[in-house]
Amino acid sequence: MRKIARYVSVIGVVALAVGLLLSMIPSVSSSVPDLLVILGVVFLVAWPLSSLLTLKRSQARVFFGSATLGMGMLLVLVILVLLNVLGARYTLRWDVTRSGRFSLSQQTKRVLASLPEKVQVLAFFPEGEGQDARDLLTEYAASSRRFFFQFTDPDRHPEKALEYKIRDYGAMVFTMGTRHERVTSATENDFTSALARLMSEETTWVRFLTGHGERRVEEEDKEGLSQLAALLQDEGYRTEETLLLRDGLPSVSDVLLIAGATTPLLPTEMDSLLAFVRRGGNLFVCLEPHPGPGLEGLLRPWGVEPRSDVILDASGIGSLFGMSEVVPLVAHYEENHAITQHFSAATFFPLCRSLSLADSLPQGIEATCIATTSEASWGETGSLDAPEISFEPGMDTEGPLCVLAAISWDRSDLGDTSSAIPGRMVVAGDIDFASNGFLRISANGDLFMNCLSWLAQREELIGIRPKEVRGGAMMLSAQAARSIFYLVVLVMPGAVLLPGLIVWLRRR
Amino acid sequence: MSKIGTIFLKEFKGYFLSPMAYVIITVFLLIGGFFFYVMISHFSMVSFQLAQYGYPESEININDMVLRPFSMNLSLILLMVIPMITMRLVAEERKSGTAELLLTAPVSPWHVILGKFLAAVGMIGVLALLSFAYPLICLLIGDPDPGPMLTSVLGLFLLGSAFVSCGLLASAASENQIVAAVATFGFLLLLWVVNWASIVTEGTLSNVLEYLSVLSHYEEFAKGIIDTKHIVFLLSLIFFPLFLSAQLLAARHGR
């Protein structure tokens, strides 16, 4: 018995180690490692118990016979468990970092304190990644008993990714009741904004302008926008088609989308739209190729001028994705703009017009080109039916060309002091990139959604500034690196080993 | 108190009278030093690359890229060396028969256990103090945040003490030192990875498994966070095995 007891622990450790190792090999059936791990745990738990069985009869009598002792041990365990339950529930927490980088802002604490029900966050990251998100989520969970989070590797659990329609790493889905909010960057501002949106009863409407040959949301062919409408609804937006003359102007908190108008807007409609934009309404204009419906008058005051051309891309990269020259690939994005700051995936803009941004704009208006084509592209002004098409200096515009522009303006600078909400507009030289035929290609859908969430001011609801973290780069010279190596690998262990050797020699 | 002190001094000196302590500290410093050198060199290389491509310095941080992962590595080394520190504490006395002698002296099992525990914790203290050299090097060559450096050492000390307590229980339960060491290692490894199971479980069980993982408690110290929740957990993990060890010792010797 004594011998068996001695080796129980060894068997336990071996079973546990082999089980854990096997669990890392994907081709091995999961039941074998699971069984080994369970066996290992059972043996490891059994070992101290079996050790007790090896006690001599008289010792055992003392050990087991004393009810007081047994009760005492149980009592101590219960007290410790209670202490830990209370300790986990009522915590004091100090962030000793220099900038308090793990401390949440008062705004976030207020939002967390007002959570009406449980919020569960599912973060989709590959194994071992997403440390920033984990740090931040840990702080949220530490501040609220109603906040929980879990990390999931979308490669290991594709069914979860499918359930939440996740196609990229780094997406986090905040769920409260039946409502979901998706966040793609791990900042306190984005997390708290997502919580505020979950709690808010208001829903942002995306209204599709109709009556001028625009693409329709119910059309399911490759030019239609039915998939876009479905994607918007998945993201928590509500969609509706609107006719300005019939329905009037939408609310300024909504987003009005002009999805490729092909006939001109009436002068009264143009005036209404201008008034809508000036009031702080959010406008998303997606253009059709030249000749357009004369939306230039609407865009010009904001510094955007669509050129009368079609972008051609001779780089040949698009052909890798099965695209022709008229489908330029876009892979250059403005890093300093909220829409594209974390965006790097390729997008495609078929039959796209290039946008020209004015050099000087009235005070308060800021127009930024956020996505551009490659240098091998140009804006073709001639007919696309010509037998040979090439770049003609003087006629065509040389690449890289702007395909997507974001404009924001401070309304107080424009003489409107009624609201502090800045006005916003996004102009795309193309609507096809968001149509059924192209929405799911590469990251087109993500780029569209980023534009929309910026327009709907979803990320700006809260305005928590990220904390500054000092202690950036540090470059070692070859000499310094060598010195550190000698110090930590040779000198420090050697300084301890030497007296050890002396002790050993003396003992001999 | 003086009885505990006497046992502590005897045990603590015992470590340094044999080559044991020197070998353990050397192994700790050698592996730790190697990890540190690799990490700091990698960080320097990334810094060079960032500067080359014109990225802002704020993109990287020495605390996040060197000191925090290094603290996690140090705790892993502790997991490996602590069974060597604790395996002989009680098992050796039982094997050589001096346990009887010790317990016939006017000392209680608690005196014995606490004295031995403090001696092993003294060793952890030495390791924790020596491990402070690495952040100090960072302080000389860079601009790390000193807060997480201090909390890391505190966390390492508490974690080491909890590990020692578990090792002491194994040593008290077995008279074979190798079995005590292997069992300690196995149990500590289990405490280390127990939260893996939280991925496949749900609800309370998942939360309990996550809570039982020593890694999740230590991680926060390495970040620069002091949370009473982690202190309560680690102190419990120190106390309960100590309590069991004292009871076991008392039961074996009819106290």
Between chain A and chain B, the number of residue pairs with CB atoms below 8 A apart is 213
Give which of B50, B61, B169, B175 to mutate to test A binding, by max A Cβ within 10 Å: B61
Quickly name the fold that domain A203-455 has: Rossmann fold (3.40.50)
Contact list in A for residue B30 (CB cut-off 8 A) is 489, 493
The yes-or-no verdict on residue B158 having pLDDT over 90 is yes
Q: Which residue of A has its CA nearest to B186?
A: A13
Of B29, B43, B173, the CB nearest to A493: B29
Nearest to A17 by CA among B159, B166, B192, B207: B192
Is B49 an interface residue toward A (CB < 8 Å)?
no
Chain A contact for B130, CB < 8 A? yes
Is A203-455 in the same CATH topology as A106-198? no
Q: How far apart, in whole angstroms, are the C-alpha atoms of residue B157 and residue B121?
A: 8
pLDDT of residue A404: 93
pLDDT confidence band for B152 (50 / 70 / 90): very high
What is the number of residues in chain B?
Answer: 255
List CB contacts of B120: < 8 A, sequence separation 6 or more: B11, B85, B86, B89, B164, B167, B168
Flag whether pLDDT at B67 surpasses 70. Answer: yes
Secondary structure of A373-423 in HEC code, one letter for each residue: ECCCEEEECCCCCCCCCCCCECCEEECCCEEEEEEEECCCCCCCCCCCCCE
Over range B102-110, report the average pLDDT: 74
| Residue A470: per-residue pLDDT | 66
Is residue B120 helix, strand or coil?
Answer: helix
Can you tell me which residue has the tokens 């990220």?
A466
In CATH, which superfamily holds the domain spanning A106-198?
A: Glutaredoxin (3.40.30.10)
CA distance B236 to chain A (A): 6
C-alpha span between A210 and A84 (Å, rounded)? 62
Q: Where are the domains of chain B?
A: 2-252
Q: Look at B145 and A470 and tell me if their CB atoms are within 8 Å.
A: yes
Q: How far is CA B243 from the centre of its chain?
A: 19
The pairing of beta strand A205-209 with beta strand A238-242: parallel
ipTM > 0.90 for the complex: no
Tokens of residue A333, six digits: 């994005």
Choose, out of A55, A118, A143, A474, the residue to mutate when testing the contact with B (most B CBs < 10 Å).
A474
Are the C-beta atoms of residues A493 and B30 closer than 8 Å to each other? Answer: yes
Residues of chain A with pLDDT under 50: 462
Instruction: Tell me the pairing of strands A93-95 and B225-227.
Output: antiparallel
In chain B, residues with a C-beta closer than 8 Å to the C-beta of A12 are: 183, 186
| Domain regions of chain A by residue span | 2-89, 106-198, 203-455
Contacts of A481 in chain B (CB under 8 A): 40-41, 44
Supply the pLDDT for residue A25: 61
Q: Give, in order, the Cα–Cα distances in Å from A153 to each of A144, A161, B69, B206.
A: 25, 9, 21, 17
Provide the pLDDT for residue B118: 93
* Residue B222 scores a pLDDT above 80: yes
Q: Contact at 8 Å (CB) between A268 and A274? A: no
A401: amino acid identity, one letter: L
Residues of B in contact with A485 (CB under 8 A): 37
Instruction: Render pLDDT for A361-385 as a digit per residue (tens, 0 to 9).
Output: 877 788 899 999 988 888 888 777 7
Ranges B36-40, B61-65, B179-183, B185-189: which has the least confidence: B61-65
On whether any CB of chain A is under 8 Å from the CB of B38, the answer is no
**Any A CB within 8 A of B18 CB:** yes
Q: Chain B residue with minimal CA distance to A69? A: B247
Residue B187 contacts A, CB cutoff 8 Å:
yes
Contact between A404 and A427 under an 8 Å Cβ cutoff? The reply is: yes
* Cα A373 from Cα A310, distance rounded (Å): 12
Percentage with pLDDT > 70 across chain B: 90
Rounded (10°) CA dihedral B129, B130, B133, B135: -60
pLDDT for the residue A113: 87
A44/B145 CB distance under 8 A:
no
Distance CA(A135)–CA(B206), nearest Å, equals 19
Contacts of A437 (CB under 8 A, 6+ apart): A222, A223
**Adjacent-strand bridge partners of A408:** A366, A424
* Cα A365 from Cα A276, distance rounded (Å): 16
Q: What does the pLDDT read at residue A291?
A: 60
| HEC sequence for A324-367 | CCCCCEEEEECCCCCCCCCCCCCEECCCCCCEEECCCCCCCEEE
Task: Examine the pLDDT at B26 and tell me if it is beyond 80.
Answer: yes
